[in-house]
Structure 1
Amino acid sequence: MSKYMSKYTGTAATVTRRTVLSGAAAFGLSGVVRAEPQAEVKVGLLVPISGMYARPGAVMREGAEMAVDHINSQGGVKALGGAKLKLVVLDCGDTTEKAKSAAQRMVAQEPDLVAASAAYLSSFTLAVTEVTERANLPVLTLSYSDLITDRGFKYVFQTSATAASQAKQALPQIISLAQSASGKKPKTVAIVTDNTGASVASAKSMREGLLAANGLQLVLDETFTPPLADATSLVQKVRSAKPDLLFFLPTVISDAKLLLEKMNEFGMGQGKVPTISFGIAIAEPDMLQTVSPELLQGVLTCVASWGTKGHEALMAELKKRYNEPWMTQNAISTYGDMWVIKDALEKAGKADRIAVADALRTLDAGPSKYYPLGEIKFDEKGRRIGAGMTIVQWQTGIPVTVFPPELALAQPIWPKS
């Protein structure tokens, strides 16, 4: 009888394949032992579902759901007999305390998870991974902070370029764009940033040598705690400093709205002070619900990933399925994370979190389809080797990828006075 049965090896975290005897065989008659389909394999998504970051969290869920559906419809995890992925979504809320508490619930209530993607803000990811590391649960993250993979952790895998790396890659491109469009190189910059992890990391790298290395002088440096109640004092300081470029790093949509509107009110629109951001808040679809396309025109933001050339089918599906106007970093990166976990399961050959982490450390799958440049290969810190970034620009009411050239969907423009 054993020759009709599929051999399957699992761990305590795996639901093993059961066999069912036909009615005839149960009564001693001739029959065939039939194997039930392989059990589901649980993967986690820990993102903000409530509070002021709920919108990006919802988009991350959309990306993950699409990926799981695509993986399952294409045969599931073949190394596990076609096992289907099951997405387990948990709410990390809108504070680091809530995020850490959610991570504690996740590892306690979902012991069958083999891996997870988390947790939007770098501040949340730093808190969450303190918990998941102790549980040996591999976590993939698009969060930017360099600190995430500077702590010696073995179960954290950063699919995005770090904040410092993104700033280093982006700054020369922005300077070149400004110089080619205006005929002169910018000399002075202002930084206005919130105090969340990724924003702090991006601003830190600029302050500590990156600006000077690119011939730029920092004339204003302001940090605020989100959400802002009023942007008047910040904009007044920017107007007094008269920078050639403004680096504005919010993580809350309402903060981006307040500052852009106040700049316009003070006569400092894009023609006066070109505005460059890091991160997704300033390019979220919800910006158009409260800010006119005219105020956004020309605003640049540097992000880990975006809907780019080669993602047209995914962008169309996201728009049709969820009524999303474009594919942000949150959707495409989380979509990619599910595929990376799937590939790790194929390599591991079993639904075991330690085996999956080992597989992630040794993945070498060549160029990525869902992340800009680089490979799906991680270094000893858990950072994706060769990770690139994208520069996105608001053009006629839509943020489109303008860098790198091979992934761009539009040519960059520079605001004219």
Structure 2
Amino acid sequence: MTDNKGKRNGGLGRREFLATGAAVLGLGVTGFPAVLRAQPASVKVGLIHPVSGFIAFSGTQCREGAQMAIADINAAGGIKSLGGAKLEAMLGDSQGKPEVGASEVSKMVEGGVHGIVAGYSSAISLATSQEAAKSMTPHIVDVGVSDQIVDRGLKNTFRFAPGYGTIAKFAVDNLAGINQMSDDKAKTAMIIHEESLFGTGTANLLQKKLPEIGIEVLDVIKHANPTRDFTNIVLQIKSKKPDLIIPANYYNEYVLLARTMRQQQVKAKGIYSVLGGAASNYKFVNEFPEAAQGIMDCNHWFNPKSEVALQRKAAAEAKGLVYTYEVFLAYNAVLALADGFERAGSTEHDAVNAALAASTLDMSYMPYGPTRMINGQNVGARPVNTQVLDGKIEVIFPQQFASAKPVFPMNS
């Protein structure tokens, strides 16, 4: 195994090798080739995502985004402070199961991984980061929004995207503003959420915050993953007639819920998603435009006014990808990890973790403020509000990134 200075265990380090080579040449030995600088050892980056199982679409999107970042970083010269060392992907499939994700971390640590990006869902990210902490392997959470992930005080765990505490507050504050601008205000809501840490945590936060802006929560309905029939849940929505329907679930379930509500002709002033698995997704909008029309979402998004963001979007689409938040958040996570290696000038775990904890990475291609890490969380990270209008996903808040004004009620 090669350490950070290029020295092989039990052998000659780079300085000794160069000195020995110079001595040999000084003796006038002919036929000896010029001393060549050894290629730096690759930097191993573990990518652990659910590329099989019920959230395979999202997991595959994450893997694609992460691999795009690796290719771009390598094409730009690799990790320059490590002599141009290239990033090497180690791939793992969590199968949508936290325990499998943790097992993949263990295998990668044994295989000499230098840093890990994982794991799409909150539950998987919670497990992978905990396992990585045993060896203090640097771990970047790409998407997982549960604040439990960063609240445990793990010194190896970092998240550059916002968590659901920040997202829920942003969503409720903006909903209050949207409501105030309307002559037909929403007064009641129902929350429909998936059963895991992500959906349950988001629903709990919203249930507390919505009454603070004068919106009564009529009911909170939890559903399993996967769910293949939303008829009963939609009939409950119809019977209670909420002004707002607030979904928090993964892609497949979100699409089925939205389509069932349209088929059942559910009437509401708004579908206002918080971390909706499909609401800010071009695939959903393109395939089911009528079901998507008017839906608002508070979610991860890129800066639509950034040339860098638009170039990355074009590159992803040229590969046949749908440019979803999974793609660009995983890309960002690899970029952040590579920046940690670059500034540390090392792959030694403590040095990289310290570099990540002090990160000031420019992420202006996202709708973020300056990067500032507190207990592993980038407190400069922010979501946006989007709305599907005439087949397009438009940013409606914050104002400096907006491409359209909100339409509320959604059928007005």
CA drift of 1:12 comes to 8.2
Give the distance between the partners of 1:280 and 1:216, measured in 2 at CA.
Answer: 20
Kept after mapping to 1: 8 A contact 2:294/2:411: no
Kept after mapping to 1: 8 A contact 2:248/2:276: no
Whether 2:263 is the aligned partner of 1:261: answer no
Amino acid paired to 2:402: A
Whether 2:294 is the aligned partner of 1:295: answer no
User: Which TM-score applies when normalising by structure 1?
Assistant: 0.87
CA drift of 1:319 comes to 0.8
2:341 to 330, 342, 345: 345
CA drift of 1:27 comes to 7.2
Kept after mapping to 2: 8 A contact 1:189/1:219: yes
Give the distance between the partners of 1:187 and 1:370, measured in 2 at CA.
Answer: 36
Give the distance between the partners of 2:121 and 2:332, measured in 1 at CA.
Answer: 18
Q: 1:31 to 1:67 in 2, by over 3 A?
A: same
User: Which residue matches 1:121?
Assistant: 121
Q: Any residues of structure 2 matched to 1:112-261 within 5 Å, and which?
A: 113-141=113-141, 142-180=143-181, 182-208=182-208, 210-251=209-250, 253-261=251-259
User: Which residue matches 1:53?
Assistant: 55
Of the structure 1 ranges 186-195 and 299-308, higher mean CA displacement relative to structure 2 is found in 299-308
Amino acid paired to 2:244: L
User: Which residue matches 1:277?
Assistant: 273
Instruction: Give the 3-state SS of the residue equivalent to 2:100 in structure 1.
Output: helix
Give the distance between the partners of 2:14 and 2:297, measured in 1 at CA.
Answer: 49
2:101 to 92, 99, 102: 99
Kept after mapping to 1: 8 A contact 2:194/2:225: yes
Give the distance between the partners of 1:92 and 1:106, measured in 2 at CA.
Answer: 13
CA drift of 1:260 comes to 1.4
CA deviation map 1:254-304 (0-9, x unaligned): 3112211221222115xx341122225213444357x52011111122213
Whether 2:392 is the aligned partner of 1:395: answer no
Q: 1:338 to 1:370 in 2, by over 3 A?
A: farther
CA deviation map 1:184-232 (0-9, x unaligned): 3321111111112122221111223x11221211111111111113211
Kept after mapping to 2: 8 A contact 1:140/1:157: yes
Whether 2:377 is the aligned partner of 1:383: answer yes
Whether 2:363 is the aligned partner of 1:368: answer yes
Kept after mapping to 2: 8 A contact 1:166/1:388: yes
Amino acid paired to 1:167: A
Identity %, equivalent residues = 27
CA drift of 1:154 comes to 1.3
User: Which TM-score applies when normalising by structure 2?
Assistant: 0.88
Amino acid paired to 1:261: R
Instruction: Give the 3-state SS of the residue equivalent to 2:45 in structure 1.
Output: strand
Amino acid paired to 1:323: G
CA drift of 1:249 comes to 0.9
Give the distance between the partners of 1:278 and 1:99, measured in 2 at CA.
Answer: 26
Instruction: Give the 3-state SS of the residue equivalent to 1:185 in structure 2.
Output: coil
Q: 1:50 to 1:11 in 2, by over 3 A?
A: farther
Instruction: Give the 3-state SS of the residue equivalent to 1:226 in structure 2.
Output: coil
| RMSD of aligned residue pairs (Cα, Å) | 2.7
Give the distance between the partners of 1:183 and 1:12, measured in 2 at CA.
Answer: 73
Give the distance between the partners of 2:125 and 2:57, measured in 1 at CA.
Answer: 17
Instruction: Give the 3-state SS of the residue equivalent to 1:277 in structure 2.
Output: strand
- Structure 1's unaligned 5+ residue stretches are 1-7
Q: 1:284 to 1:103 in 2, by over 3 A?
A: farther
Amino acid paired to 1:405: Q
1:75 to 51, 74, 77: 77
User: Which residue matches 2:311?
Assistant: 313
CA drift of 1:156 comes to 0.9
Kept after mapping to 2: 8 A contact 1:138/1:356: yes
Kept after mapping to 2: 8 A contact 1:115/1:138: yes
CA drift of 1:52 comes to 1.9
Instruction: Give the 3-state SS of the residue equivalent to 1:135 in structure 2.
Output: coil
Give the distance between the partners of 2:8 and 2:37, measured in 1 at CA.
Answer: 20
Instruction: Give the 3-state SS of the residue equivalent to 1:312 in structure 2.
Output: helix
Kept after mapping to 2: 8 A contact 1:199/1:278: no
Of the structure 1 ranges 394-403 and 210-219, higher mean CA displacement relative to structure 2 is found in 394-403
CA deviation map 1:129-166 (0-9, x unaligned): 22111121111112100111122211111212111210
Kept after mapping to 2: 8 A contact 1:400/1:410: yes
Give the distance between the partners of 2:189 and 2:207, measured in 1 at CA.
Answer: 11
Give the distance between the partners of 2:28 and 2:399, measured in 1 at CA.
Answer: 69
Between Structure 1 and Structure 2, how many residues are aligned? 397
Give the distance between the partners of 1:259 and 1:145, measured in 2 at CA.
Answer: 23
Give the distance between the partners of 1:260 and 1:199, measured in 2 at CA.
Answer: 17
Amino acid paired to 1:375: P
